[in-house]
Structure 1
Amino acid sequence: MYELIFWQYLDEVYLNHQLVYEALIEGEMVEGLELLPVQVILNRIASVFDTWEKVDGDSWKNPKGKGAFQVNTTPQSIQIDCYGTEGKTMDKLVSIMEEFKCPLYDPQIPARYDEFYEEEE
């Protein structure tokens, strides 16, 4: 499994990413994070992956047999667990979340990829 997690800081807020990640996976609310349009994001994922088999309300499986992913949400985060998923599929998921200004935090490294947003300012 490869875990991807996304959240958005409020303007002018910068917290320890690892501590934010740990709180979010425990289901805690984190002061300084935006509330996300969770249903809109889930609808967008479903739209982009409309050729994939929807296993249940929050899981998709590639009909060609190359991977699957499950989406877990809190009001402040989107966590996507990828199982045997190709890199290009993970890139698509990251791109979807970038549409909502939620950069990737990769807990395996650990690193947050929010340089893109800092350049825009």
Structure 2
Amino acid sequence: MDLNFWRYKKNTTHDHVTVYQMACCDGEVIEVLEFLPIDDILKKVATTFSDWIIHDGGKSFEKDGYGAF
């Protein structure tokens, strides 16, 4: 499964298909999108899942009987 997240800047047209293709698939920077605070988000995930085994500097998590992400 591949989950993709983005946030539009205020007062911009929302075109999810184009954003997904250009930003997520092609890796292009799109002016209508905000920069997400990735490090802060990963820290919150690590705190929430602190009893899981954390790999790759907080980018991969696993727990016996619960799977991994």
- TM-score band by shorter chain is 0.7 to 0.9
1:11 aligns with 2:10: yes
Q: Does 1:66 align with 2:57?
A: no
Q: CA shift at 1:23, angstroms? A: 1.4
SS of the counterpart of 1:54? strand
| Structure 2, gaps ≥5 residues long | none
Shift of 1:59: 0.8
- Secondary structure at the aligned position of 2:32 is classed as coil
How far, CA to CA, are the matches of 2:41 and 2:64 in structure 1?
A: 24
Paired with 1:47 and 1:14, the residues of 2 have a C-alpha distance of 34
Q: How far apart are residue 55 of structure 1 and its match?
A: 2.2
Residue 22 of structure 2 corresponds to: 23
Equivalenced residue count is: 67
Q: Once the 2 structures are TM-superposed, how far is the Cα of residue 56 of structure 1 from its aligned partner? A: 1.8
Structure 1 unmatched ranges of 5 or more: 70-121
Q: CA deviation at 1:15?
A: 2.7
What is the percentage of aligned positions where both structures have the same residue? 39
Greater relative contact order (CA < 8 Å, ≥ 6 in sequence)? 1
2:36 aligned partner:
36
Which structure dedicates a bigger proportion of its chain to strand?
1
